[in-house]
Amino acid sequence: MRLPRLLLTAALATSALAVSGAGKVSVHGSVQAGVLFPQKDASIGATDDYDSPILFNTYADVRLASKYVDAGLRFEFMKWPLPGFDPDFAGWGFPNIYVKGKIKGVELTGGTFYEQFGSGFILRTYEDRTLGIDNSILGGRVKVNSVKGLRLTALGGLQRVYWDWKLQSQVYGADVEADIHDWIPSMRAKDAALTLGASWVLRHEKDDGDIFLDGTDYRLKLPEETNAIDIRGTFTQGPWSLQAEYAWKGQDPSYDNDYTYNHGQAVMLTGSYSRKGLSASLQAKRSSNFSFRSQRKRNGLPAFINYMPAFTYQHTYALPALFPYATQYGPGEWAFNGSFGYTFPRKSALGGRYGTSLTLNLSYISSLVHEGDPRNPINGAVRGTDGYKSPFWKMGHTNYWDFNVQLEKRLSKPVTLHFMYMNQRYNRQALENEGGNIYNNIFVADAKWRINRKFTLRGEVQYMLSHEDSAERDFMDAHPERDRCDWFYALAEFSWTPYLMFSVSDMINTGGTGNHYYMFGITGNYRNNRLMLSYGRTREGFNCSGGMCRYVPAMKGFQINYTYNF
Amino acid sequence: MAIDINKILHTAAASGLLMLSAISCDVAPDERFVYEEPVTRQRTVLLMDFTGQKCVNCPEAHEVMQQLVQQYGDTALITVSIHAGALATSVDRTNFERNNIGLMIAEGDAMNNAFGINTWPMGVVDRINAPGAGMLVPEWAGAVRDAVGKPADVHIAADASLKDNVISVDTRVTSTADRDLSLQVWVLEDSIKARQETKQGRVDDYIHNNVLRYVAYDVKEGFPITLEKGVENHNTCDITVKNTDKERWNTSNLSVVCFAFRGTDICNAVKTKIKPQ
């Protein structure tokens, strides 16, 4: 369903009228454009033909806010999108428009909105432009916050899947969250807080009757309603915090679970401690069959109703980010994360004159064990069965491992150093369905020299020592065109605060092809405008954020990125 | 403020009821399979499988195609394996001495890009040059069934013969109304032994069938033909058998697929073996 123009006109008129009667109105907005002039470069595999010599993603939004009424509108133009986005991503129009009324703790939204229940196990709609995710809901939402310590949310509507709002697929949900400490003064007296929450989401999707058992005249009867429930609690006292969450999902045969009928479950436990100069956290999560989409035939990034929090460190350095982890929604996983941060105080032996920060992080993720040999009675395939059994406590092969230690030391007033060592294991077979295991040792050194109040020079040197198991070695031997093994990366940045920054970098595949991925950039800031011009090569790989990954093909060309906020 | 036990109990009871109502949506195992009457064949359907030798999930799609051909017969369903995209190996990388045989031709990759396909295997049923028309494997059976039962307003027949390493293809197209169409002719090859990644590892002598080897006319435009109602349009084209250091066709395993299309819809198709003259 295309967003009807009538709705757009009606919403604009309503919001204009409503806002005009609501007293003082503030207007905010932004413009963002990413442009690529692609060039072919066979040496890095950038050989794709594009429909246009210029590819760009453009967003412009305006938000009106007043005491009682808010309204917003976003225009997007992606007719010739940047490389690597799904074909359905291409298009243009007004996919986001809303009017929100607020009075006495009650908030009513009509139009498109974003929402999250708890950690997002059963509902999280959000926007991430680098990944091409916008799974907002077009419909209605009411939030009630009139009673102290109690928050209620109810919503319903159609989910955006690129430029499609499928009428046959609807999402409904409700959430209640209670701050128990607001009702028990003795808890507050002990600096303790307890928040309990519960959520429910219903996905209705019509059964089109078109999923057949291959080679037969039998089709699957698919449940049109899928319910999901989430309960959670957070307890904090002083520097300590403990969080637990459990979610359950009803039958949801989909592409992600090979159209099997088992229920899904997810559980997460987090404990943390934090005080000035010291922080530590431990997390564990188990999920099985917990992909929850508004369209069961979809794969990849679109149509997710839920979100599984990422348990891996979000690396910002180039080489550690070469092998990012993608959360395994359908097959499930056991995930663990531990982190520790400590700042050695000033004038101590290790802290020196300015203090020293130490950070340790460990992530370990394994697959689940799938037992049994489920076969349907019609053609013997797994489709239509309850799927494999996954004993709760059993762990399968290692999907991913990342241990990193980071040290930040200010040597003198103008000079700061940052070092990182990382040990990583990446199971390409489990995550990309090809190859084997890759083991990396990565070293990073980052130095910043603030020459004076205006000028700063920063440099990075990174090296990745890599080795492969026999399966990965065989796979890469068969594909000599691919980059493999060791990498070297260097970057230099010169900033004239706050106006200009020049950067030059090169990433070299020293262990295989010898390819250079160079990039030259200049960034300018003036008032609310930011313009970045760059030219260079981008390696084929995955762009990940929060465990969600988008494949990005090899690219070369001139890029423009512009943002303006008002 | 005192804790209201009644409120908590009510909440717990409501949660329990919610859970029960959720479970009641379950489809019992004996209700999951619904028999549908077989469809009557009205046309020949073309199923394009976009595949790659480095794609471990692709062999499963090859099995699904075999199952569908067994179900509908090879006169009702033509399957074509089009090697394309990031997981395919180009014919340019072929090295026969090292048993490294690539199966992707540029025209196949161009079709892949025209459909906007970026995951493999992906199938397309009776469509051409239609971005977003790709379907994941579980949808193929339903789409083929739907297409087989659609009435055809265009009929196509073809003969192909081989003489002096040249394949002569003779196509005859008729229509129930006056219309402008486009014609396309492909050469397929069966029983090519070449590498294939599978979930169990690499297989060096995997048997590749229905592999797209040659596209006779422009990939997007085809060969324009104008049909008059009930009048047979006759067309011939000659294709030279490839025997280079990159491609060696085995003429006894070749077949020809001809299809007519209008816009992004394929109207009808036919597959014929090549007869030696």
Q: Calculate mean pLDDT across residues A242-249.
A: 98
The C-alpha atoms of residue A461 and residue A488 are separated, in whole angstroms, by: 8
Q: Does A83 touch chain B (CB under 8 A)?
A: no
- Strand partners of residue A361: A339, A404
- Which long-range contacts (C-beta less than 8 Å, at least 24 apart) are formed by A448-452? A448/A415, A448/A416, A448/A417, A448/A418, A449/A414, A449/A415, A450/A413, A450/A414, A450/A415, A451/A414
ipTM value of the model? 0.86
Task: Name which of A56, A186, A173 is nearest A118 in CA terms.
Answer: A173
Side chain identity at B208, as an amino acid letter?
Answer: H
Q: Inspect the interface and report whether the beta carbons of A433 and B56 lie closer than 8 Å.
A: yes
The C-alpha atoms of residue A161 and residue A138 are separated, in whole angstroms, by: 11
User: Who's near B195: CB < 8 A, 6+ residues apart?
Assistant: A478, B53, B89, B99, B100, B101, B202, B203, B204, B206
Give the CA distances from residue A100 to residues A104, A472, B215, in Å, rounded to whole numbers and listed in that order.
Answer: 13, 53, 56
Side chain identity at A247, as an amino acid letter?
Answer: A
| A251's tokens | 């039958």
Q: Inspect the interface and report whether the beta carbons of B23 and A479 lie closer than 8 Å.
A: no
Cα Rg of chain B, angstroms: 24
In contact, B213 and B249? CB cutoff 8 Å: yes
Q: In angstroms, how far is CA B208 from the centroid of its own chain?
A: 14
Q: Does B28 touch chain A (CB under 8 A)?
A: no
Task: Name which of B269, B180, B157, B263 is nearest B228 in CA terms.
Answer: B180
Q: Does A386 touch chain B (CB under 8 A)?
A: yes
The C-alpha atoms of residue A385 and residue A259 are separated, in whole angstroms, by: 8
Q: Where in chain B are the domains?
A: 39-276
Task: Name which of A506, A368, A515, A364 is nearest A41 in CA terms.
Answer: A515
Task: Give the pLDDT band (50/70/90) at residue A560.
Answer: very high
Q: Inspect the interface and report whether the beta carbons of A297 and B195 lie closer than 8 Å.
A: no
Q: Which residue of A has its CA nearest to B109?
A: A48
User: Mutating which of B33, B70, B87, B104 best tests the A interface, going by the most A Cβ atoms within 10 A?
Assistant: B33
Q: Does B244 touch chain A (CB under 8 A)?
A: no
**How much is the pLDDT for A15?**
54
Q: What is the pLDDT along chain B (277 residues), one digit of tens a residue?
A: 444 545 554 555 565 555 556 555 799 999 999 999 999 999 999 999 999 998 889 999 999 999 999 999 999 999 999 999 888 999 998 999 888 899 999 999 999 988 988 889 999 999 998 888 999 999 999 999 999 999 999 999 999 999 999 999 999 999 999 999 999 999 999 999 999 988 888 899 999 999 999 999 999 999 999 999 989 999 999 999 999 999 999 999 999 999 999 999 999 999 999 987 6
Which residue is it, tokens 């799609």? B61
**How much is the pLDDT for A97?**
97
Q: Does B27 touch chain A (CB under 8 A)?
A: yes
Does B39-276 carry CATH code 2.60.40.10?
yes
Q: Does A480 touch chain B (CB under 8 A)?
A: no
Nearest to A434 among B11, B25, B56 (CB): B56
CA distance A383 to chain B (A): 9
Residues of A in contact with B119 (CB under 8 A): 299-300
CA distance A330 to chain B (A): 16
**How much is the pLDDT for B171?**
96
Q: Inspect the interface and report whether the beta carbons of A215 and B86 lie closer than 8 Å.
A: no
Q: Calculate mean pLDDT across residues A81-103.
A: 93
User: Mutating which of B32, B63, B90, B94 best tests the A interface, going by the most A Cβ atoms within 10 A?
Assistant: B32
